[in-house]
């Protein structure tokens, strides 16, 4: 049996309209999963769903805001109503911006935490009752190298939010292990998506020179590792952070 296959599995993916989230959706689809795509209300979410449906994938496009716990609960109920289970949750929704600590406002810091860690909490809490009942489940959250080593170019609130994601997921792994539920993180370095469009070509090239593998990440690099962590191929892996960063951080 191929432990990487996801035939019939139901996966909820946040941040799924573009970037890393959409690439995860395509990767899971290629491996047979049924997909609930969650993102802010947008034509792009529908377009993503249409692309997958046209390739024969079973998809639900569910507009929603991860900061809204009631909304996320109701989205999860829709998934259960449709497919009767929730095997995988990938928390990929997130925001990022650059502000030096001296200029950082409380409002900006809170907004960052609201999306990047409270969003992970809401989605995780929403799927857990079903995973506990099933006695199985895999939750993967997209953290960041910044959550492990601090942010090098002025996004301390982003780094703090991702550090919180890592420690929260480790606690989920500890509390939920007895139900066969696994919880892991990936920590990407810089990945070529809309999130880094604020970086100049020169900044990207400078960063790439500091990477042992000599290039910035592609969404596929991250999606492939999340596929491993979400599938039965990693059935004895929980509470881990896998750095997907071309070797920038070796720990």
Q: Catalytic residue positions?
A: 158
Q: Which residue number, 132 or 208, has a Cβ lying nearer to ligand NAD?
A: 208
**Sign of the alpha-carbon dihedral angle for 16, 20, 22, 26:** negative
Cβ 218 vs Cβ 47: under 8 Å:
no
Q: State the Cα angle at 114 between 195 and 102, rounded to 5°.
A: 75
CB of 178 to ligand NAD, least distance (A): 28
DSSP of 1-60, one letter per residue? --TT--TT-EEEEESTTSHHHHHHHHHHHHTT-EEEEEESS-HHHHHHHHHHHHTT--EE
User: How many residues does the structure list for the chain?
Assistant: 251
Lookup: tokens for 181? 């539920």
The string of DSSP letters for 125-192 reads HHHHHHHHHHT-EEEEEE--THHHH--TTSBHHHHHHHHHHHHHHHHHHHHHGGGTEEEEEEEE--BS
- Tell me the closest approach of the beta carbon of residue 248 to ligand NAD, in angstroms: 11
Least distance between ligand NAD and beta carbon 134 (Å): 25
Residues that bind ligand NAD (CB under 6 A): 14-15, 17-21, 39-40, 65-67, 92-96, 115, 119, 142, 144, 188, 190-191, 193-196
For residue 196, the minimal CB distance to ligand NAD (Å) is: 5
What is the dihedral angle through the alpha carbons of 19, 22, 27, 28, rounded to the nearest 10 degrees? 140
CB of 11 to ligand NAD, least distance (A): 16
Least separation in angstroms between CB 60 and ligand NAD: 15
DSSP state of 114: I
Nearest by Cα to 247 from 219, 223, 216, 212 = 212
From CA 9, how far away is CA 157, in angstroms rounded? Answer: 35
């Amino acid at each position: 049996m191929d432990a990487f296959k996801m035939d019939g599995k139901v996966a909820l993916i946040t941040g799924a309209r573009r970037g890393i989230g959409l690439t995860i959706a395509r990767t899971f689809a290629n491996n047979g999963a049924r997909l609930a795509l969650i993102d802010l209300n947008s034509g792009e979410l529908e377009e993503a769903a249409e692309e997958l449906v046209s390739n024969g994938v079973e998809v639900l496009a569910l507009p929603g805001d991860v900061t809204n716990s009631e909304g996320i609960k109701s989205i999860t109920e829709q998934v259960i109503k449709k497919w009767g289970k929730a095997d995988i949750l990938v928390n990929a929704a997130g925001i990022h911006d650059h502000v030096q600590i001296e200029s950082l406002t409380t409002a900006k810091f809170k907004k960052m935490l609201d999306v990047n860690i409270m969003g992970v909490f809401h989605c995780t809490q929403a799927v857990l009752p079903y995973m506990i009942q099933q006695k199985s489940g895999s939750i993967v959250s997209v953290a960041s190298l910044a959550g492990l080593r601090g942010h090098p170019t002025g996004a301390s609130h982003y780094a703090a939010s991702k550090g919180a994601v890592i420690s929260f997921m480790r606690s989920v792994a500890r509390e939920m292990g007895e139900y066969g539920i696994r919880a892991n993180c990936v920590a990407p370095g810089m990945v070529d998506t809309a999130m880094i469009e604020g970086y100049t070509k020169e900044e990207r090239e400078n960063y790439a020179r500091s990477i042992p593998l000599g290039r910035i990440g592609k969404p596929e690099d991250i999606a492939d590792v999340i596929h491993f962590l979400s599938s039965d191929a990693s059935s004895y892996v929980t509470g881990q952070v896998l750095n997907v960063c071309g070797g920038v951080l070796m720990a």
